[in-house]
Structure 1
Amino acid sequence: MATAGDDDERIPMSQIRKVTARRLTEAALVPVFQLTTVLDASRMTELRRDINTRLADSGVKISVNDLIVRAVAVALAAHPEVNASFGGDAILRHKHVNVGVAVALEDGLVVPVVKDADRKSVSAIGAEVKDLAARARAGRLKLDEMSGGTFSVSNLGMFGIDAFTAVINPPEAAILAVGSTVDEPVVVDGEVQVRPRTRLTLTVDHRVLDGASAAAFLRDLTDLLAEPLRILV
């Protein structure tokens, strides 16, 4: 623990920062591994643009993160082994798909939860995430809106971060870190093309999942985002 010097400013920790520190300390004890893949985000960005254009008059506007949360929920429903947590002497597979969405505040980090996200449309998820984030920044989230998560998503792409590793949120089995979408040259059918690409990094509790199971989930999630019309049905 650091000791204060005579000219150091002492800033008391907020309750949110105290909770964050405690949770990160718990997370440090979890044996984890990471998997990273690169998503061709061409169709995802096109779909988002098309939806927002068509629904502009209704006031509906979705983000890339809304599509990612919806795709995560669909993938979790298909991979119940990932929608799980460590229970000491047992692995708990959850019946509900509850996706936490990390929201950065000035004095810490909160993770409001979209309950039963696999049963909600992209527009419904977008509206709920927007409301939860606004109330989180206003300090008006209820305790039950920050609990019960079975998986989390942390997106730093809007800050220009290419890729990063997110810290797992115990007792959840995994968390997805989403980087920025960047135009990159790639070879497609023998020709060099410029495509928008996004790096996704999955951090996994090794007590709950092995590499092959986690890789299968990340592969299927990436496939869903590469062909995102499937998450709209």
Structure 2
Amino acid sequence: AATAPAAAPAAAPASVWYDESIPHEVEKLSNIRKTIARRLTEAKQTIPHIYLTVDIQLDALLKLRGQLNKSLEGRGVKLSVNDMLIKALAVALAQVPKCNVTFAGDKLVNYSRADISVAVSTPTGLITPIIRDAANIGLASISTQMKELADRAKEGKLQPHEYQGGTASISNMGMFGIKQFDAVINPPQAMILAVGAGEKRPYIVDDALGVATVMSATGSFDHRAVDGADGAELMKVFKALVESPMGLLA
């Protein structure tokens, strides 16, 4: 039999022109930064994103958070708004399972559990530790797990099983004052929720113009797997859970 031809060597990255006359330093990319660049490029090139945005009144959630934190003082637990949004997204995915999926070529993987990947910024780059089965654990447990995972993520001590996987992601940039943004899907997941800052805005309350604490949240969906109507239903359920947050305690 004829000898099979040798595999062609991998193409070297294309060089990028830049003005070397400008004072500068050249920094070699870390393995983490290379991985982030590769995965985000693949996501934008191969996944048709659809973006759906809702405005959500936060006052009831903030009030409930204050009450819960007062009762949890003795346990050393302090809930963040993000802890409660993680829970809300997981519950919403349980109620709208058509968004809790992975597109796999000629098949669709339907998950029966919501594992939420949470974007955490670290000195070496973005990483997404996972809160597993977030719809069925308490807010105090989510808060405790999230704090421990985020601390170890920033120290570079996460194990692969703690950040690989997940069924959907949440990225919160509200602490930076970002009002609204569109996040890139974290494959093989089919959606990511981008959360902006809560701020005082003119808002219609009980058919009258008032002032409320409002945040904008944008869901990015893989349009191969999730129809617009199903993504819209998820955003509607998420909004309802945040605006009537007692459902997060069930």
TM-score if structure 1 supplies the norm length?
0.96
Unaligned runs of 5+ in 2: 1-14
Who is 1:203 aligned against?
A: 220
Who is 1:102 aligned against?
A: 119
Who is 1:68 aligned against?
A: 85
4+ residue runs of structure 1 moved beyond 3 angstroms? none
Q: How many residues align?
A: 233
Give, in whole Å, the separation in 2 of the partners of 1:41 and 1:181: 7
Counterpart code for 1:193: G
- Alignment of 1:171 with 2:188, yes or no, is yes
Who is 1:185 aligned against?
A: 202
SS in 2 for 1:76: helix
Counterpart code for 1:231: L
The within-5 A match list for 1:4-153 is 5=20, 7-29=23-45, 30-153=47-170
**1:116 CA drift (Å):** 1.2
- Alignment of 1:159 with 2:176, yes or no, is yes
Q: More deviation in 112-121 or 170-179?
A: 112-121
Give, in whole Å, the separation in 2 of the partners of 1:98 and 1:65: 15
Give, in whole Å, the separation in 2 of the partners of 1:220 and 1:49: 23
Give, in whole Å, the separation in 1 of the partners of 2:43 and 2:85: 24
**1:58 CA drift (Å):** 2.1
Give, in whole Å, the separation in 2 of the partners of 1:189 and 1:129: 36
- Alignment of 1:2 with 2:16, yes or no, is yes
Q: What do residues 40-81 of structure 1 show as CA deviations (whole Å, max 9, x unaligned)?
A: 111011111111122223211000000000011111111111
Give, in whole Å, the separation in 2 of the partners of 1:197 and 1:92: 34
Give, in whole Å, the separation in 2 of the partners of 1:16 and 1:47: 38
**1:115 CA drift (Å):** 1.1
Give, in whole Å, the separation in 1 of the partners of 2:118 and 2:175: 14
Give, in whole Å, the separation in 2 of the partners of 1:68 and 1:204: 18
Give, in whole Å, the separation in 2 of the partners of 1:166 and 1:223: 22
Give, in whole Å, the separation in 2 of the partners of 1:161 and 1:24: 21
RMSD of equivalent CA atoms: 1.2
SS in 2 for 1:197: strand
The alignment-based identity, stated in percent, is 40
Q: More deviation in 52-61 or 92-101?
A: 52-61
Give, in whole Å, the separation in 2 of the partners of 1:48 and 1:149: 26
**1:194 CA drift (Å):** 1.1
Counterpart code for 2:16: A
Counterpart code for 2:36: T
Who is 1:230 aligned against?
A: 247
- Higher-Rg structure is 2
TM-score if structure 2 supplies the norm length?
0.90
SS in 1 for 2:77: coil
Give, in whole Å, the separation in 1 of the partners of 2:205 and 2:166: 38
